[in-house]
Structure 1
Amino acid sequence: MYRERASRLPGAAVWTSVPSGDGGPGRVLPDGCMDLLWHDGRLLVAGPDTRAHVAGAASAWAGVRFRPGTAPALLGVPAHELRDRRVDLADLWPAAEVRRATARVHAADHPARGLEDVALGLAASAAPPDPLLTRLVAALDAGRPVAATADELGIGARRLHRRSLAAFGYGPKTLARILRMRRALALARAGVPFAETAAHAGYADQPHLAREVRSLTGVSLRELVPPDSRARSRTEP
């Protein structure tokens, strides 16, 4: 079972995942984010995904998910070095710092609370989020084209690509694809027919939407949108 709540750290979310009893694997979809994780007494970092990450469902996890572009400044590592990876924090930080962070999680009444405390401590000593990258995410999430967004931000395409690699783990075009897919899934799960979802989310047509979803997640759109939610929305007044 997966549970999530807003974090005391602005823009972040705190989540827990415990075995549901069905024994099936969990599928974590790309979202432009990075996570600080707690699993089996270890601290890990989940880098930005370009494809779905399939995780076993046999044990419990807790995490803090940072909004796109913010984790590298907190964790001290460029996002592209962690792309599509799950890495022990001990491989990124000095041993003494990892011990202090681990002790902080152990001292909390729940690992998720301890992780949130660690994240808040990191944010307190880090530089504020880059406003240019914040504007980039907002523009792409609103469906603005990458080239037009670069012009509006007053930054060249190559420079924007370099900064995006460090902040997001990939270039702005990949980030735009992922954010567009997330918009489409939200619409489809709210009961919007797939053809209308494709149009509203900025795809050429429904087959384009279907290809992109499968490319990024490894499964079809219908597998990600339960039929009962679509039927419920169609019958509600």
Structure 2
Amino acid sequence: MVLGSIGIRIREGHRMPIEADHRGSDSPYIARVWRGRASGVESLTSVATSNWELVFWEFEGTLRVSVRGPETFASTAEVTGESESFGITFAHGASMPHLPVARLVDTGVESPHADGRVFVLRGEEWAVPGFDDAEDFVDRLVRAGVLTRDPLVDEVVWGGIAKVGGRSVQRRVSAATGLTQGAIRQIDRARHAAVLLGEGVPPLEVVHRVGYYDQPHLARSLQRFIGRTATQLRRREDGGEPLSLLYKPEDDGRF
């Protein structure tokens, strides 16, 4: 969830006063669509993510819009008051040429103007979309040339074989995602491991299932990208900060 100018993705089903909903999409440009509400929460842990997002949030009666880049480490954000948020998480390979993703890593750019009906993107006014019509909005961005896609990137990120040279692949992945293939895999592996641990899968089994060398390797990855230990993730009643949005990789039809 996003409050103020800090990007925070919320986790569904947490026992703290956070309500969230998220879904997949048939659009090749979209990885996930989510919405949520928070109140009475002092802080949230924003886990690392290899995707960038377009996020809309209302805070103290004011609508704000931000393009948030990939996050390469877990961070804590303070939260005050109440807020409602909606976001479109874009698939690997989708990008906005006027906002290179490489410049957005671990940061973001806020729209210069937004109200209850429209916001400004690439110097143009766009109607504010909703949770159910995100695909229509993204289609309009594509037709206007605001949003483009390199299909090779999404394919190779998920293990496909490219028909071009390795250097060309690396260059195209970096241009479209702001990250290397290695960084994307590390982040997504940690997120997958966190979901499994939250479901009660033993750490040693997670090590073998997700592809870590050993449990210390898993522990270092979780601390960096998720901000939690394996024990904290398995004990969901530990009373810690709520985590940002996590979901099974197969929810996107990738595995």
TM norm. shorter chain > 0.5: yes
Shift of 1:154: 4.2
The whole-number CA distance in structure 2 between the counterparts of 1:25 and 1:44 is: 20
CA gap of 1:226–1:17, structure 2 versus 1, over 3 A, is farther
Cα displacement string for residues 57-91 of structure 1 (whole angstroms, at most 9, x for unaligned residues): 33222111112221x14x64221110001211349
Number of positions where the alignment pairs a residue of Structure 1 with one of Structure 2: 205
1:77 correspondence with 2:95: no
Alignment of 1:1-237 (within 5 A): 1-7=19-25, 9-10=27-28, 11-21=30-40, 23-40=41-58, 41-58=63-80, 59-70=83-94, 72-73=95-96, 76-90=98-112, 93-95=121-123, 97=124, 100-101=125-126, 104-105=127-128, 111-113=130-132, 117-126=136-145, 129-139=149-159, 152-227=161-236
**Highest CA radius of gyration, 1 or 2?**
1
Distance (Å, rounded) in 2 between the aligned partners of 1:90 and 1:160: 34
Q: Which has the higher contact order (CA 8 A, sep 6+)?
A: 2
TM (normalized to structure 1)?
0.74
Structure 1 residues 41-66: Cα deviation after superposition (integer angstroms, max 9, x where no partner): 12210101111243343322211111
| Conserved? CA contact 1:14–1:116, under 8 Å | no
Q: Which moved more, 1:188-197 or 1:117-126?
A: 117-126
User: Per residue, is there more helix in 1 or in 2?
Assistant: 1
Structure 1 position 161, deviation (Å): 2.5
CA contact (8 A) 1:15 1:64 kept: yes
4+ residue stretches of structure 1 with deviation over 4 A? 113-117, 125-128
The CA deviation at 1:123 is: 3.0
Contact 2:35 2:84 in 1 (8 A): yes
Distance in 1 of aligned mates of 2:219 and 2:26: 36
Please report the RMSD computed on the Cα atoms of aligned residues, expressed in angstroms. 2.8
How big is each residue's C-alpha offset from its partner over 1:192-231, in whole Å with a ceiling of 9 and x where there is no partner? 1001101110000111101111122333233334346xxx
Measured in 2, the distance between the counterparts of 1:227 and 1:55 equals: 20
Structure 1 unpaired stretches of 5+: 140-148, 229-237
Q: 1:174 to 1:39 in 2, by over 3 A?
A: same
SS at match of 1:153: coil
Please tell me the residue identity of whatever aligns with 1:57: V
Query: If each structure's strand is expressed as a fraction of its own residues, which one has the higher value?
Result: 2
- For 2:20, the aligned partner's letter is Y
- SS of 2:38's equivalent in the other structure is coil
SS in 1 for 2:45: strand
Change (3 A) 1:168 1:221: farther
Taking structure 2 as the reference length, the TM-score comes to 0.69
CA distance in 2, matches of 1:130, 1:18: 33
Residue identity (%) = 29
